Amino acid sequence: FRLSSLIGHISTCPSLIGQCCQRHPGSVDEFQEELVIRPLHSGDIYASFQFRTLWDTDFLQEGQKVSHYRLFPKSLGQVLSKFSVRELHISFTQGFWRTMQWGQPFIPSPPGAELWVWFHDTVSDVDGNWKELTNVLSGIFCASLNFIDLTNTVQPSASFKPLGLGNATDHRFLRYATLPREIVCTENLTPWKKLLPCGSKAGLAVLLKSEKLFHSSFHSQAVHIRPVCQDEQCTSKAWELRQTLNVVFDLYTAGQGKKAFRSSIYLNCGKTGELFELSPATPLLSQAVVLGDRRTYSVFDLTRAETFGQLRSLNLLLRWKGDGGEMLRPLLHAERYVAGFGLQTGEIHTVIYNNHPYRAFPVLLMDSVPWYLQLYIHTLTVTSKSRDNKPSYIHYQPAKDRHRPHLLEMLIQLPPHSMTEVTVQFERALLKWTEYTPDPNHGFYVGSSVVSALVPSMVAMSTNFTQDQPLFSSFVPVKEESSYFVRVYTEPLLVNLPTPDFSMPYNVICLTCTVVAVGYGSFYNLLTRTFQVDEPSLPLAKRLANLIRRIRGVPLLT
Amino acid sequence: MAAPLTLLLIVAVTIRAVLFRSSLAELISARVEVVSPLNAWKRVVEGLALLDLGVSPYSGDVFHETPLMIYLFHFTVDYAEIVFIVSAYFFRKQKYALESDRYSADCLELLRSPKEMFYIPLKVAMFYLLNPFTILSCVAKSTCGLNNAIIALFIFCTLKGSALLSGILLALATYQSIYPLTLFAPALLFFLQRLYIPVNLRRSSFWFFTLQYAFMYVGSLVVITGLSFFLLGSWDFIPSVYGFIFSVPDLTPNIGLFWYFFAEMFEHFRLFFSCVFQFNVFFYTIPLSIKLKEHPVFLIFMQIAIISIFKSYPTVGDVALYMAFLPAWSHLYRFLRNIFLVSCVLLACSALFPVLWHLWIYAGSANSNFYYAITLLFNFGQVKVFTTTWLTNCEWKNRWRNKVSLFINLY
């Protein structure tokens, strides 16, 4: 089949906007943007936008007040300094990433909203900072992050290590929360676009048209802030702000961009000419290893004038050559579902697949279950290939009703080419009538499980740090050559709870108090009642006789 | 007397053993009428599993047993079924002994035929051991059975006249669930009656004995609580056990009145209604003690009945406890009003509980109101049972008193 590309034109950027993207003298703020287009075997197109702003300020030092913002957005900078945030990762996702059909994403994210933050060691009241931070972010991103409170926040002990600099081991400064019910819409995209240095007026951000982005199977926008080294020797540190947008389209679109520092479009073409034809063909080809997968990418560097040709626009045309090609099977894959029937009990089953043909590796499974599903940890079973597989590390924090959710973290060794099943039973609680959502029969969402692992790679990874590395391969720091870090999110669950009758508060109070009153009334009666023998009333004749007898002084008749 | 009792014991143990080994045991352990968040066996196992994992069992909201219970089951978890059957057996022994002992002291019972009285202990034993409620409670391995055994031991020691043991056992019963605190008054009254100390607030002998008994009771309670603290190393168990009993945060449906009330009540009045409901259990003690001071055994029965109906997480095991006392007043059977109606109500409700639960939770064709209605009716029936018993007792006593005084007058 053939698909044609969509062509768009953008007029030259006004000089004012063009300036903001230039290198500012005297500082080393940097901006880099990138778009990776990867056709997927299911006929979809995966487009991943990444925008990176490097901000050369180290406000970890005392006494340095930051007031000059250049490319870095002021709103986020103020948030970072006010709440002493060291790392912040927030994502809004609509749809679920189908790992088996689409492969591994560059930046994984669970459905709904997810927020995890590492605070500095100097913070004394982490919970207070967390609460304020969620409310402020809720305002910045126009999302209902204010629903994040202590009942859905956990402190994972091993799953979310910092992605930037720093060697933190004290998980008291880490907070993780997820809102699986959160919906993403254009209202969230607009403030996200505003955080970019040029907004949506120049650069690849021009391609971010809401109508197209939201007509997609999967849409995820994220903001990741972390401290990074600026060079190999790590002599100076900088704050890195990465804004990523991952979209999976059924149809595809192409686009163009205007000036930026470094602005490139990477097109994953596999073996060129096999899957599709690309025009205009580009002489620039680069190979990158991402997620254990060595692929060839055609690179279009938008900062060079020759990319654009005479019309000052870039049109990409991809022609499919029909079905073909093998997709690399993802080595790690997880699913989750609820088993059982009725509204009293249930079982959560998490299934993790290890598709590596001969290597076993350990995975860290993190589950955060709300308090109203009472987990019974003595029913936890882990089976691989129908044999018991005991986890080597279990960290379990039971829930406290209305205060804290369950947190279960386990390190499980997955045998090669196998399926591991983790099951745990739970009981559903009856909540107070005000604690139900307005649509209680829809059910309650349980956030995705997180499976984190260092997967052995079939291809050697590069641990060198270079400035020229494409953004999509440098998101997660690669520490060793033989394995790469993968995080897989499972489906969120939808669980029904038994409901009381919401129309009945007065009736219930009256009826229950009636029964209590019946008891009380009977008691009162019996406590205060005295018993008297009742003399039967005499017939008239006997009464007269008694009258006479009384006069005479003789004993009376009865 | 020994032969029928032994036969009864064998039958009861057989029934329980058969049910333990059948597939019904799993089903019964999960029924909300039989187990509550306070005494479910599943939660005991969960608490032990948490202890093995290195997490305090009281850090979550699943486990609400006392620390001594954890340590008892830590060692006997494999033999749990045997523990429960043995406790039922002890309960029987106590009941039997108390019945055979009691009537020599109670003057009113002289008016009944000796033959009748002879069979009362056996009837009490039968009422308890073969009561389907008790059997279900034992098979579900609910710790309610153990609590009942402690209360029965306490009654036995009280009737035997041993104040120290009675104090210790009452402290143990109070430690398990707070409500047996109300049994202090009837026990005290029984001892005073037995020692011929008149209940007169101005007499020093009354105060002397009261203080002695109170000291023994409070002392044992303090010792047991301190022991729990040292076993687990923290005071976490107090909010987890007693705070849980009083504040009723868990709204799992049961046969009591609290759960739906607290599920549907306005948040603003939460504290008020919790206080009212808990107060309702305790405040009948004083008026009842004043009214029934000559009949402490009947007072014990009344207190246990009030606790079983109005406690925060009742189960059928608690109902079985006071029902076992009913044969002791078999002389009242002839005079009980509405007994047919009330017993039909209770039987019908017991049959309807599982049906309506299934319809609500599994079939989805009924809703929580159906189960709630049966709860209301069941509690109403229970209230009627013991108020009728009390009423008939009062009437009967009065009638006999008048007949006796008339008898004496004529001669």
Tell me the pLDDT tens digit for each residue of A341-372. Answer: 999 999 999 999 999 888 899 999 999 999 99
For A469, residues 6+ apart whose C-beta sits below 8 A from its C-beta are A288
- Which of A139-153, A401-415, A475-489 is least confident? A475-489
- Is B253 at the interface with chain A, CB within 8 A? yes
User: What is the DSSP secondary structure assignment for residue A502, as one 8-state letter?
Assistant: T
Q: Does B275 touch chain A (CB under 8 A)?
A: no
* Averaged pLDDT of chain A: 79
> Alpha-carbon dihedral of residues B261, B266, B270, B272, nearest 10 degrees?
-90
CB A116 within 8 A of CB A164: no
| CB < 8 Å to B50, chain A | 377, 396, 398
Record the tokens describing residue A258, joined without a space.
């205007």
- In the 8-state DSSP scheme, what is residue B74? H
Structure tokens at A259: 């000036």
pLDDT in tens, B267-297: 999 999 999 999 999 999 999 998 888 888 8
A270 has pLDDT over 50: no
Of A146, A94, A72, residue with least CA distance to A115: A146
Residue A257 has pLDDT above 70, yes or no: no
Q: Identify the pLDDT of residue A410.
A: 95
**Confidence band of A287 (pLDDT split at 50, 70, 90):** low
Mean pLDDT of A150-171: 86
Quote the CA–CA distance of B152 and B89 in Å, as a whole number: 11
Which residue do the tokens 């009675």 mark?
B166
- Residue-level pLDDT at A13: 25
Minimal CA–CA distance to B270: which of B292, B290, B252, B246?
A: B246
Q: State the Cα–Cα distance between residues B130 and B127, nearest whole angstrom.
A: 6
Q: Which residues of A touch B267 (CB under 8 A)?
A: 432, 434
What number is the ipTM of this complex? 0.89
Q: Note if the pTM is more than 0.90.
A: no
Q: How far apart, in whole angstroms, are the C-alpha atoms of residue B409 and residue B411?
A: 5
Q: What is the pLDDT, as a whole number, of residue B331?
A: 72
Q: In this predicted structure, what is the pLDDT of residue B181?
A: 93
| Contact residues, chain B, for A521 at CB < 8 Å | none
Residue A5 pLDDT exceeds 50: no
Cβ partners under 8 Å of residue A335, min gap 6: A350, A351, A353, A490, A491
Q: Which of B55, B288, B361 sits opposite A342 (nearest CB)?
A: B361
Of the listed ranges A50-59, A121-130, A505-514, B182-191, the one predicted with least confidence: A50-59
Which chain B residues touch A501 with a CB distance below 8 Å?
A: 264, 367-369
B30 to A400: CB separation less than 8 angstroms, yes or no: no
Q: What percent of chain A has pLDDT over 70?
A: 75
pLDDT band for position A33 (cuts 50, 70, 90) = confident
Q: What is the mean pLDDT of residues A116-138?
A: 92
Q: What is the pLDDT of residue A58?
A: 66
Helix/strand/coil percentages in chain B, nearest 5: 80, 0, 20
- Rounded to an integer, what distance in angstroms lies between the CA atom of residue B133 and that of residue B152? 17
Contact call for residues A276 and A319 (beta carbons, < 8 A): yes
Kindly give the confidence (pLDDT) of every residue in chain B, 411 residues in length, as a single tens digit, with 9 standing for 90 and above. Answer: 678 878 888 888 888 888 888 888 888 888 889 999 988 889 988 998 998 888 888 988 888 888 888 877 776 655 556 666 666 666 666 666 555 555 444 444 444 555 556 677 778 878 888 889 988 988 888 888 888 888 888 888 888 888 899 999 999 999 998 999 999 999 999 888 888 877 777 778 888 889 999 999 999 999 999 999 998 888 888 999 999 999 999 999 999 988 999 999 999 999 999 999 999 999 999 999 988 888 888 899 999 999 999 999 999 999 988 888 888 777 777 777 788 899 999 999 999 999 999 999 999 899 999 999 999 999 999 999 988 888 888 877 777 777 666 555 555
The pLDDT assigned to A394 comes to 93
CA atoms within 13 A on the CB side of B3: 0
Per-residue pLDDT band for A258 (boundaries 50, 70, 90) equals: very low
Which of chain A's residues have a Cβ under 8 Å away from the Cβ of B62?
374, 376, 398
State how far residue A413 is from chain B, nearest Cα, in angstroms: 19
The per-residue pLDDT for range A10-23, each reduced to its tens digit, is 222 222 222 334 44
Of A401 and A199, more confident: A401
Contact criterion met (CB < 8 Å) for A519 and B309: yes
Token digits of residue A116: 């995890």
Interface contact A515-B257, CB threshold 8 A: yes
Residue A494's pLDDT is what? 94
What is the three-class DSSP state of A40?
coil
Q: What is the pLDDT of residue B324?
A: 84
On chain A, the residues whose CB falls within 8 A of the CB of B379 are 515
Mutate to test the interface with B, among A508, A513, A558 (most CBs of B within 10 A): A508
What's A469's DSSP letter? S
Residue type, A189: L
Contact at CB, B387 and A523, closer than 8 angstroms: yes
Identify the residue among A432, A496, A558 best suited for mutation to test binding to B, counting B beta carbons within 10 A and taking the highest.
Answer: A432
Q: Report the run of H or E that residue B67 belongs to, with start and end.
A: helix B67-76
Quickly count: other Cβ atoms within 10 Å of residue B218's Cβ. 14
| CB atoms inside a 10 Å sphere around CB B102 | 17
How far apart (Å, rounded) are the C-alpha atoms in residues A505 and A510?
9
- B359 and A CB contact within 8 Å: no
Read off the tokens for A522: 């009977």
B338 in contact with chain A, both atoms CB, cutoff 8 A = no
Taking a C-beta distance cutoff of 8 angstroms, is the pair A172, A18 a contact?
A: no
Beta bridge partners of A371: none
pLDDT of residue B106: 44
Q: Are A524 and B280 in contact (CB under 8 A)?
A: no
Contact B394 A526 (CB under 8 A): yes
Residue-level pLDDT at B67: 86
Residue B264 burial by Cβ neighbours in a 10 Å radius (0-12, 13-18, 19+):
buried
* pLDDT tens, residue by residue, A164-197: 877 767 889 999 999 999 999 888 998 998 888 8
